[in-house]
Structure 1
Amino acid sequence: MRPISPVQRAVNGSHQVLIVGGGAAGIATASSLISREPHLDVAIIDPADTHYYQPGWTLVGAGVFRAEDTARSMASLIPKGVTWIQAAVSSFEPEHNALVLNDGRVLGYDQLVVCPGLKLDWNAIEGLSETLGKNGVTSNYRYDLAPYTWQLAQNLKQGQALFSQPPMPIKCAGAPQKAMYLSCDHWLRSGRLEQINTRFLNAGGVLFGVPDYVPALMEYVKKYDIALDFGHNLVAVDGPSKRATFVRNNAEGKQERVELPFDMLHVVPPQTAPDFIRNSPLADAAGWIDVDPHSLRHKRYSNIHGLGDGTNTSNAKTAAAARKQAPVVATNVLVNLKRLPTRAQYDGYGSCPLTVERGKIVLAEFTYGGKVAPSFPAWLLDGRQPTRRAWWLKERILPPLYWRGMLKGHEWLARPSLVTDLPES
């Protein structure tokens, strides 16, 4: 007979399903579970008071949305019948089907779903934290800074505007250039574009990872006269002096530092899995939650699933991906609990509405391997071309679809594909 471990002795409570993370992925998964099994014992662990519709911050940075309209109280969004544990996770004990909270409590589970999002590492860029929100330095990746992006775009009359993108992976890989296109569109409409030198400094080597959408984007790069600087990684910011330092490889293949002046600097920070994930037995060698890309089940622990931005799947880290993943995880958790007979699989779907001007969007939709996967027929909405219909979708349809659809367990255009031969993790 196996001895009882100290962790098992200390358990303060347990749930059939524990969900770590109350963001888009966590709440959507809880709602999908409850919609299928209303009496299931589900709990969400998340310390935050406020939940944000992060895809809206691009439009906040362009003066289209108000920041406050992208925020709601966490309490108002927890699905009925789901327990909210307002705490943070300290560590995982998967061998004992338990986890430890930061207040020392130990919680047990039958099934665990892990979707904590990712960490925006502002401190990885020297001097950045001290100057964010002033000296012309901003980022649409933070709720409190997106309005400053719009303020800077409105006030800039002439000079140099820099837009940076760090190495992958990052959430919403198109967001760095969305901020740039919308700012340029404002400068064009206000007759100031010729007085502003815009540069896109991307640590990567391509404008966008799915080639089908690049031609349309390049038309806007030309229209706005944007200088593309690939292989440039932002490493330091001197806000008071308005100087940004990038590292790039020179002609000999050696790294060199390049310092550029700016009047406006839009920064996207490096991004990693959260520390409590990176230092846990759930992580792969790079620190991300180690899951099978199709079942989203953990590769070592069969009663653990992961989804959202914190996993090591190769899909785009977007809310659209989480919307497709949540029903898959809900289904597969219920299969594990013997409540459903057939597993579901995720095909890597992600979507990135690339806002190329106010009123037009290139709607990028794709699955694993960069395969284009449009939700609509081309005659209705051709995602490879900038269209007003895609803008209408982004501005008018997607926010209520998020708040009243995805987070409520309504799976419009997101029903999971059921399979009988899904590879085991």
Structure 2
Amino acid sequence: MSHISYDIVIVGGGSAGSALAASVKKRAPSLTIAIIEPSDKHYYQPAWTLVGAGEFDVNKTVRPMAEAIPDGITWLQAAVTEFQPTEKQVVTDKLGTIQYTQLVVAAGLKLNWEGIKGLTETLGKNGVTSNYRFDLAPYTWQLVQQLESGEAIFTQPPMPIKCAGAPQKALYLSCAEWQGKNRLGHIKASFYSSTPALFGVKEYVEPLMQYIRRYKVNLNLNSTLVEVDGPAKTAWFNVKDADGNVTRISKPFDLLHVVPPQTALDFLKQSPLVNADGWVEVDQHSLQHVRYPEVFGVGDCTSTPNAKTAAAARKQVVIAAENLLAQREGKALPSRYDGYGSCPLTVEKGKIILAEFGYGGKIVPTFPWDSTKPRRSAWLLKKYVLPWLYWNLMLKGREWLARCGACG
């Protein structure tokens, strides 16, 4: 089955890849489009934070990949092993060589669980969990319910990561649960973040700090989790001081919520499409590859300096769809991506600070309100509206709110 050819080949059937396929097919129904994706499941990952707080059914965050692939799109269930952009083809593990006129890379990123010593051996037991995995988010909720006293530690690795607010979401929702059960006085919550600031957009820092104080969280910045001993209930951190000196400290825990370090995927790192850090090298506004004009990139795998969120992917797919169709016809690329990303920060049960921002940390709100204020309406949006919108609109090429924002 070698040398199959398509007008457009999309590598990756996650949020960005499937949504892009739907958007292009809607605009140009006659084109032959294939998605290369090895997984047989498709996940709605933004809800896993709510799963870890007992607010969402984990089984409603997964569907068969066949249901997520848009109508009229060919699903090639295989993995890409090599990119050959000068020949306009990719090599797969099961289907041989696939040729294309245009290529879109939407492969996501790698959760590097092995990047923290001892972590993989203890995940899902010994009080060690993560909302970044489908099978572990329910364990987070189990631990939160069971903990009545002791040390609860929440971590954030170095950037870039997908949904930079998610590490804090786990912290706030757990603390809200404990506060509601009058346990917070017996449970000491700590947040250890590799970043130098609580959040990357300055306007949201003080509103979030109010919750840090409300929940009496022990906040530790410039602190990176490097090792875990689950049976000994001990975590080690590298802490950097103002002069750049690094000290290693150990901390005991009863609950440890870990967000793993995240990197570019191995098969992409070895390709000619990436920059020195392994990210697909595209123009940050057009999403067109800087060296191969028939190649575009969307979602978490690209070099664009935006927040890696489902909201960003939702906006990017419209830009990429319009631009790749223009490129196909030899026209100037009409659309520009402004770096939009959204992070619905679940600061308590029933309230969210809906952080929305573009390149340079510029606030770009979708709705006519002060986005630094926690709101009930934003909670309803995240819990009820956005999952429905994702499955029924975004993956179907219906681009409601895609030009102006909120989804993540």
**Into which bin does the TM-score normalised by the smaller protein fall?**
over 0.9
> Is 1:267 aligned to 2:258, yes or no?
yes
Q: Quick one: which amino acid aligns to residue 98 of structure 2?
A: L
Distance 1:386-1:252 versus aligned 2 partners, 3 A rule: closer
Deviation at 1:248, TM superposition (A): 1.3
Give the 3-state SS of the residue equivalent to 1:109 in structure 2: strand
Counterpart residue type for residue 214 of structure 1: V
Task: Give, in whole Å, the separation in 2 of the partners of 1:249 and 1:148.
Answer: 31
What corresponds to 1:248 in structure 2?
239
Distance across 2 between alignment mates of 1:217 and 1:269 = 22
Structure 1 or 2, whichever has the larger Rg, is 1
Distance in 1 separating the partners of 2:76 and 2:244: 51
Partner of 2:381: 393
Residue 163 (1) aligns with residue 154 (2): yes
Structure 1 position 343, deviation (Å)? 2.0
Question: CA 1:51 to 1:172, structure 2 compared with 1: closer, same or farther past 3 Å?
Answer: same
**Distance apart, 1:121 and its partner CA:** 0.2
User: 2:277 matched to 1:286?
Assistant: yes
- Cα RMSD between the aligned structures? 1.5
Residue 225 of structure 1, CA deviation: 0.2
- Contact 2:204–2:372 (CA<8 Å) still a contact in 1? yes
Contact 1:383 1:390 (C-alpha < 8 Å) held by counterparts:
no
1:408 is matched with 396
Asked if 1:351 is matched to 2:342, the reply is yes
Q: 1:168 to 1:38 in 2, by over 3 A?
A: same
Q: Could you list the runs of 5+ residues in structure 2 that have no partner in the other structure?
A: none
**Letter paired with 1:199:** S
SS of corresponding position for 2:260: coil
Letter in 1 for 2:382: K
Count of paired positions: 405
Three-state SS of the structure 2 residue aligned to 1:343 is coil
Secondary structure in 2 aligned to 1:95? coil
Distance 1:383 1:255 in 2: 36
The answer to whether residue 214 in structure 2 is matched with residue 226 in structure 1 is no
Q: TM-score, normalised by structure 2?
A: 0.97
Which residue identity is paired with 1:20? V
CA distance in structure 2 between the partners assigned to 1:101 and 1:82 by the alignment: 18
Q: Identify which of 309, 323, 326 aligns with 1:332.
A: 323
Runs of 5+ consecutive residues of structure 1 not aligned to the other structure? 1-9, 418-425
Contact 1:140-1:179 within 8 A present in 2 as well: yes
- CA-CA distance at 1:377 after TM superposition: 0.4
In the alignment, the residues of structure 2 paired with residue 401 and residue 282 of structure 1 have an alpha-carbon distance, to the nearest angstrom, of 32
CA distance 1:253–1:273, change in 2 (3 Å): closer
* Compared CA separation, residues 251 and 274, structure 1 to 2 (3 A): closer
Q: Partner residue of 2:201? A: 210
Give the partner amino acid of 1:413.
Answer: L
**Shift in Å, 1:342:** 5.3
C-alpha displacement of 1:314: 0.6
With 336-345 and 254-263 compared, the bigger mean Cα shift is at 336-345
Offset, 1:104? 6.1
The 8 Å contact of residues 29 and 330 in structure 1, kept in 2 or not, is answered as yes
CA distance in 2, matches of 1:251, 1:169: 22
Secondary structure, in 3 states, of the residue corresponding to 1:410? coil
- Aligned mate of 2:41, from 41, 50, 58: 50
**Match of 2:5?**
14
> Is the partner of 1:193 in helix, strand or coil?
coil
Is 2:182 the partner of 1:194? no
Percent of residue pairs bearing the same amino acid type: 57
Aligned mates of 1:176, 1:300 — CA distance in 2: 35
- TM superposition shift of 1:415: 3.6
1: CA distance, partners of 2:342 / 2:215: 24
> Contact (CA 8 Å) 1:11, 1:108: kept in 2 or not?
no
Q: Which of the numbers 64, 81, 89 marks the counterpart of 2:72? A: 81
How do residues 71-110 of structure 1 correspond to structure 2 at under 5 angstroms?
71-103=62-94, 105-110=96-101
Name the SS for the 2:29 alignment partner: coil
SS at match of 1:217: helix
Q: After alignment, is 333-342 or 47-56 more displaced?
A: 333-342
Superposition misfits of 4+ residues, deviation over 6 angstroms: none
Equivalent pair of 2:366/2:404 in contact (CA under 8 Å): no
The one-letter amino acid of 2:401's match is: L
Cross-structure match for 2:56: 65
**Which residue does 1:121 correspond to in 2?**
112
